Amino acid sequence: MNDDPTWLAVGDDAPCGCCPRRGSRRAGRCASRPARLAGPVPTRPLYPSPVRPAHRDEHGLPALIYGYLRVTDDLDDHAVRAMERALQEPAETAGLCYATTFHDDQPGYHGGFDELTRELQRAQAHHVVVPCLGHLSEHPLLRTIMILRLTRDANARVWVVTRS
């Protein structure tokens, strides 16, 4: 795996294709390809060029990154752990310190997202990673509001795992 992955601004909200909860015909097809992080998710039009997250904080330590998943009842623990690893591995490869994963497991419930926002503020962390934007919300307006809330309340950026 490349030690210096490419970080690209995300401009579409297409499903990831490798997320088992999507039921996509491409599901599982990209599992053999190395993962990388694409992001941040823009809150305005696409950035004109590739961007990279800060790998170190002001003290020279690796920057913290938190994961966020929306899981459903049809996913077993093994599938959820595989999704967590799919978030953790590219983040650590990029030199970030993966802290933990926050989950929401009920439609319309955002308790895990609220906890994530509070933890970002407490830890003064500024990075969140998701498998695809649909994990924030399938509804484009609500998803945009959630991204703006992370940006406003915690000065955080949302990164999306993609396959090379």
State the CATH number of the domain containing residue 92.
3.40.50.1390
Assess whether pLDDT exceeds 90 at residue 65: yes
**Phi, psi of 101, deg, nearest 5:** -120, 135
Q: What percent of the chain has pLDDT over 70?
A: 63
In a domain, 135, yes or no: yes
- The separation between the first and the last C-alpha atoms of the chain, rounded to the nearest angstrom, is 10
DSSP label at 56? B
Q: What whole-number distance in Å separates Cα of residue 4 and Cα of residue 94?
A: 6
| Residue of higher predicted confidence among 14 and 53 | 53
Quote the pLDDT of residue 143: 93
Quote the pLDDT of residue 55: 67
Quote the pLDDT of residue 73: 85
In a domain, 54, yes or no: no
Quote the pLDDT of residue 106: 87
Q: How confident is the prediction for the chain on average, in pLDDT?
A: 74
3-state helix, strand, coil in the chain (%, to 5): 30, 20, 50
In a domain, 74, yes or no: yes
Average pLDDT over residues 100-111: 92
| Residue of higher predicted confidence among 16 and 9 | 16
In a domain, 127, yes or no: yes
Confidence of residue 61 (pLDDT cuts 50, 70, 90): confident
pTM, two decimal places: 0.71
Contact 150, 158 (CB under 8 A): yes
Assess whether pLDDT exceeds 50 at residue 47: no
Number of domains in the chain: 1
Least confident of 43-52, 73-82, 89-98: 43-52
Q: What whole-number distance in Å separates Cα of residue 58 and Cα of residue 82?
A: 32
Confidence of residue 99 (pLDDT cuts 50, 70, 90): very high
Contact 70, 133 (CB under 8 A): no
In a domain, 14, yes or no: no
Angle at 125 between CA 115 and CA 44, to 5 degrees: 90
State the residue range of the domain holding 125: 20-44+59-163
In a domain, 10, yes or no: no
In a domain, 5, yes or no: no
In a domain, 119, yes or no: yes
